[in-house]
Structure 1
């Protein structure tokens, strides 16, 4: 045990005895903190504790790297991300290093896709270490944290539930739902401790507490003081963490993992621990695991990675996305970036920056630094730091006045009625709030509260509130960008193929692209690519303004709004799934078609998309065969409407563009005909099956009947299915009647009689609107009944009382609106034919179905009525006789007609029906 901290131990023992009335748990915690600090300080391999995106940590790191000049830098970051770090010089920070896996093996399928990100900003200690190691000859950078695969191996989360909250803002969603790997996770895990610190520190959130009580005091501290204070804070938060067994085990396993990797590297390379630097979060620096240190135990076994296929790349990040992912206060990362620039200017520490870094200042060549001096023996710097009273910074009136004037100017630009008086009020209120919180100099958080109080006044006239305006003024939500050379092959291919558009595609914001394909046919490949991007990327990345993509049509002119720079992350993640857009789209379609919960309608949608976007007959045939297999196994009819619509579109396309129908769609029609005939009686009786689904089934059977019969189906199947259907629900009963009329089993006269009987029955009258709904849906399988539907609806409006009619009107309107493209034109055209065209003629208009008496249905047996009919129409009889092969002259009308009727009774009955209109 080192004697450097004996004085501090004695003071803490006295404090524990005074506050706790004797030795006990408090003394054990306080002395344990000192032991942790002492152990970390005495470790031969220097440990450098950091806090994520902390300007004080970044300044201390830059200063220490120039003093020590280590030859090996061990960094707490996923070890499999190491090859990506050299690409940071092609990016504009902040960006995030990402590991992405869609081919998931060994993990629950609900977790896919797997994504791990590690954001990096300029004001971070880890970036200083990376820049130093990569641009300094002879220095090796070794990542020692668990791999991305182990991140999920050690995860015990539940399957993701459906999100209830609104989607996050665009800037805050750059990381998506990825798991964040944070270097320097330094925040109390004991809620009561955090509440205590915030309450006594007179601050609103943790970021403000850290800024006031850690960032500012450590900004000018020497190296030893910085290390010991960070060790102390990490040990305090670790010892006061709640007993979450899983989280504690993961933290300790991470520390065992990192120390095991470092000892392996030291043994393999022969490096001197004194020439190495270990950069890790302060929470993990003061570790108590047996594997801690270069002399630690070697009993930890690292499990092998799973069989999942991991892809790696860089994605753009932003201050807001980092704050949202890691639970930081809004604007805290922007304030940290501003504080970093001020610290560099105040301390004159030279930062490290990758050579050629995009968006960074040009680095000047400097003389080689002097050799590092040997480190002095560790001594106690904590006692002095803890006894030192807080340094009250003098009020910088010029800085605060500039802030006040700038926020008023920004508020006026955003619609606030602010004036010079508001600037003075913000200035004075900032000083007042700082005084109430025991600080002489207002912090950016004090200024933000004062601006909200003095300017906003509970009214936000525009899109941005004052708090957001202050964040923008303090540095804004800086958004990074991945350079072209660091993009995956797919993203570079997209940029190359869209080059004829002459747009700056990496630029953020919306750009308009005009494609006159008729005069410039070379732009048609760009159109094809844009439609695929629209299908694969989030809404807004590629949005068509003019033009559409339909089966069998070729583009002429199109207009697009493109925001590929804004959605760069999504484009990069597409590159993890394949090397070309076509390959990714084919994989997505195949994955959707072969999903365990895929329905026939969804698979047909994939077939349509393959034909529409890829124009691939091979893929369409494969997916069509899959749709056939899925349809044969379905036992519900929920997807029947969608199946009918998609099959109709595909049939229309193939009939106009192909010499013969593909084999798969012929098989689909034949199987679907038999399948729906089998399910029809059950669907009519099932209460769960809606009238729309049953109407779609009938629509499939009647509209595909000719093709199905030509492929070998038997019409008797349909007749038996209709005969075996016995619905009870009124709308389905009306649908069954329409099907019987379509089959010829029910005449229109009989259908009118049934409807008239319903209107005449007071007990059935309340249900009559439901019968009408069934007739409206019947237009799907029997569009020839449009005139009868108009007649039935007209009779309902004429005879039904308002108490029954008015509640039914919303249902009718909803039905027509949902099926407007198919049903409304039929009804409007038929109504236009039946109703008068002028308003003056409406008063004297009589419905045609009331003026023309119905002729009684003639018997189907040949007899006297048939003889009279033939005698009344000799010319028609001669024509039918010639068609039937009877060329001999008639002997007499009576005998010849009678002889013809006896020889061809069925033909005579059919002719009679045609002539009588029955």
Structure 2
């Protein structure tokens, strides 16, 4: 008969009276789980994550038992990081990171796992005790981070698994994270306890008269267990873990994963005991209360089940380090109520001061020491190592010990919250402080509490102070969190940083700034007066390229090809983005190496394009000095250009290669080989694709204009490298576009090649304006002409002429509906070239209003001399035609024009024929010459 037999019988009778055999089986099974866990070796210490009661019981038990081995529910490959905790300011998170994955879906990359550590947690007490006590070994026994993802469900391998919920936990309580210090990492929580389905949690919250799970746990578990002895603490925690385990939903996949974790941990403990020969009686197994009530066949050292087969890790290369964490980041990752971890930290300090327990703390630990450190004695909670006694019966049947009202503490909270509220814009006063005090006491009484908790105080403050609006950035609930402890943010010390991060701190030391601070700091660099700061400038530009926005922000200065910096100004928040800097250290030992690796991956990636490769070349020149690496990236750009089958990125390709060629021509004695190869390959490539691009209805006019810009702009260089001009001419002759913009672009290309004269191009524009059917689409032709300013900038005067004629000749009924279409078309298809058109118009038109009255357009002044010369040349022609009227009549009939010979008054000759001849003297001269040749032949 066990010590729990009376309790088992009592629960069985009660369950059969009220719930039947099913409930009786659950309740008696819970008692069996408690009995089994307490009798096992090594001693099982059940915990809850970030629980002050667990941390307090852990500190007491470690000072009593003094175990030589501590087995910890923590990823086994994170063990080397534990010693680095002494160089940090808590809270921080242990992290495993992998940028390249092997054996996992590629869509999951990068992989990241974090395990947050706070001072008010049992695992930190165990770590501090083991690391600072000679002869004590701490052994993480949970699955490795690689197995975390091996065992993760792969729902189509579409995305990486989300943050792993704690064992026995349900959904989160809502609330947006204040700071994503953990990024999108998967969180590993030690000892998470929460009902497995929403109905049970809702039932507990409703009957407990609380708002969320964190408040229920604080009232019904944390506060009663804070002053309980160790035996009571163990039995209650295992009882809760067993209850939630037996009442969880029948999720087979989740159940199997939890049980595999338990088999994994017991297998690792057996292996360690067999390898070291340690005495199980001197060992302590720290795990979540959920796992303490395990029923797997490998549970306990006396079990005779086969060892659990642990699969090998994948070939993924993991990097390990510490990243800063915060209370709000922990709350957001694990679905806790906002402010619950801060309240737990304040509860921990208060409990340490009240109980007199001396907590363990790593020597050299950065940060504020908890209050009560100077009281070494242990009060209450003494451990009895004799036979286990039934503490559950008394704990479950008796009322909880209620603390008395601490009026001084509550009054201090009320006064401080009013002061803080006034500072943030609230109209609060003494009456509000009194109201908060009385309301806190009232709420605590309604909820069955003798002493108001921080949650009661928060509800009372919101009710009495916030009223109907929030005048500032912070609401009253957030002010209460700040008052009760705030969002404590940790930091990783210099010695615990990876080599890359330490190198960054060392190289930026000449700036004289404390890069560990989370505030934004201004750095001023006068590179002309202090040239020694130039390496700092180069490093800052690389960090701006690698770190997230806001970490390194230039206020004054730029980094472009050919620039020489003189003065720069920077806003630095590297301390605020310490996580990103640490993760950067997982990729290499210096920022230059990381940047080179990233550029190489981008250029040789499966989705790499010509633009990607050229952008990598430019970054290599800007940040890494170019050289051999830039040549490799440039050769890759040539390969991608040769394999390209579309011209969608032609505008960006042309823009980047022009910039690079200009840089090399100014900075180098000769063009690199890859530039020459790119020009040769691009000339042949774009000549080949030009007819198809002109005919493709889906292709844009900007892409075709960019191709022509490359061909015309780099033709001289291409010809000097062995290309053939006939390729371009044949490509233009073979192009037959139908879209108006592309037709205009083709005309401009022919004019540039000499296949069409300027007068012919001007005549075609006049024909477009004269044809009423074409006028609605004339804006499209104009967009093509404007796009042609890139490959053929000499056509700018002709484009201005064509547009001016359109505004001058079109009637208002046509022009007014046509004008918005023209503006929209130019804005869509030729936005970057319109300034060129405007500058040419400014050069053509007069600059003042009086000069406009006497101004004659250049194209009209060129046509005037030809018109004035016509009458002088028509004298002998008129005489010839008058001598041979029948020939003139025949030509007029051939042209389809009736002719009447009328003698004008005064005998000067004329009539309609004379007017026609004056308007078209060239035709008359041609006919006269033809007749003269016919007469000479007849003679």
Q: Is the TM-score greater than 0.5?
A: yes
C-alpha spacing 1:415/1:277, structure 2 compared with 1 (3 Å): same
CA shift for structure 1 position 365? 11
- Say which of 202, 208, 229 aligns to 1:195: 202
TM-score calculated relative to the size of structure 2 = 0.86
CA distance in 2, matches of 1:271, 1:126: 21
2:797 to 778, 782, 787: 787
Alignment deviations for residues 637-663 of structure 1 (CA, whole Å, 9 cap, x no partner): 221111111101100010011111000
2:556 aligned with 1:557: no
Q: Is the Cα–Cα contact under 8 Å of residues 108 and 159 in structure 2 kept in the other structure?
A: no
* Alignment pair present for 1:4 and 2:3: yes
> 1:216 corresponds to which residue?
223
Q: Is the 8 A contact 2:679 2:714 kept in 1?
A: yes
- 2:18 corresponds to: 19
1:705 lines up with 2:715 in the alignment: yes
Q: Following the alignment from structure 1 to structure 2, what is the Cα–Cα distance between the partners of residues 144 and 365?
A: 33
Shift of 1:796: 4.6
How far, CA to CA, are the matches of 2:254 and 2:306 in structure 1? 22
State whether residues 501 and 582 of structure 2, in contact with CA within 8 Å, keep that contact through their aligned partners in structure 1.
Answer: yes
| Aligned 8 A contact 1:433 1:446 in 2 | yes
Deviation for aligned residue 1:194: 1.7
> Is residue 94 from structure 1 mapped to residue 83 from structure 2 by the alignment?
no
In the alignment, what sits opposite 1:537?
A: 547
**Alignment of 1:803 onto 2:817:** yes
| Gap change, CA 1:729 and 1:232, over 3 Å in 2 | farther
Equivalent residue number for residue 521 of structure 1: 531
2:293 maps to what in 1? 286
Written as runs of structure 1 = structure 2, the 5 A alignment for 1:234-633 is 234-296=241-303, 297-361=305-369, 375-633=385-643
Conserved? CA contact 1:731–1:773, under 8 Å = yes
| Cα distance, 1:441–1:736 mapped onto 2, change above 3 Å | farther
User: Is 1:741 aligned to residue 751 of structure 2?
Assistant: yes
Q: Quick check: 1:68 aligned with 2:65?
A: yes
Equivalent residue pairs, number: 844
Is this contact kept in 1: 2:786–2:837, CA < 8 A? no
Task: Give, in whole Å, the separation in 2 of the partners of 1:765 and 1:418.
Answer: 71
Aligned partners of 1:678 and 1:854: how far apart in 2?
A: 44
- Aligned-pair distance for 1:149? 1.2
- Measured after TM superposition, the shift of residue 456 of structure 1 is 2.7
In 2: Cα distance, 1:841 partner to 1:5 partner: 111
The one of 744, 753, 776 equivalent to 2:763 is 753
- Give the deviation of 1:161 after TM superposition: 5.7
Q: CA separation in 2, counterparts of 1:681 and 1:245?
A: 62
What is the distance in 2 between the residues matched to 1:197 and 1:368? Answer: 34
- CA–CA distance in structure 2, aligned partners of residues 317 and 854 of structure 1: 82
Match in the other structure for 1:122: 119
**Structure 2: runs of 5+ lacking an equivalent:** 163-174, 867-939
**Do structure 1's residue 151 and structure 2's residue 159 form an aligned pair?**
no
In the alignment, which residue of structure 1 is the partner of 2:685?
Answer: 675
Structure-1 residue corresponding to 2:916: none
Q: Give the conservation status (yes or no) of the 8 Å contact 2:500–2:589.
A: yes
Answer with 4-13 or 314-323: which moved more.
4-13
Listed one character per residue, the Cα deviations across residues 660-687 of structure 1 (whole Å, up to 9, x for unaligned) are 1000111111111111222222222333
Larger radius of gyration: 2
The 8 Å contact of residues 749 and 854 in structure 1, kept in 2 or not, is answered as no
> 1:110 offset after TM fit, Å?
1.6
Aligned to 1:30, which of 7, 22, 27?
Answer: 27
Change (3 A) 1:458 1:65: same
1:870-906 Cα shifts (integer Å, max 9, x gaps): xxxxxxxxxxxxxxxxxxxxxxxxxxxxxxxxxxxxx
Indicate the RMSD between aligned Cα atoms, in angstroms. 2.4
Counterpart CA distance in 2 for 1:90 and 1:144 is 24
Counterparts of 2:770 and 2:783, CA distance in 1: 19
Task: Give the Cα separation in 1 of the matches to 2:792 and 2:160.
Answer: 41
Instruction: Quickly say closer, same or farther: Cα 1:778–1:265, change in 2 above 3 A.
Output: same
Task: Judge which range, 278-287 or 825-834, deviates more.
Answer: 825-834
Match of 2:132 in 1: 135
- Displacement over 6 Å in runs of 4+: 362-369
Is the 1:766–1:804 contact (alpha carbons within 8 Å) kept by the matching residues of 2?
A: yes
Q: The residue matched to 1:173 in structure 2 has which SS?
A: coil
Q: Does 1:186 align with 2:175?
A: no
Provide Cα deviations, 1:259-301, integer angstroms capped at 9, x if missing partner: 0000111111111111110001111111111111112323311
Shift in Å at residue 481 of structure 1? 0.9
Q: Is the CA contact 1:92–1:357 (under 8 Å) kept in the aligned structure 2? A: yes
Q: Secondary structure at the match of 1:852?
A: helix
The alpha carbon displacement at 1:465 in A equals 2.2
The two structures have a TM-score, normalised by structure 1, of 0.88
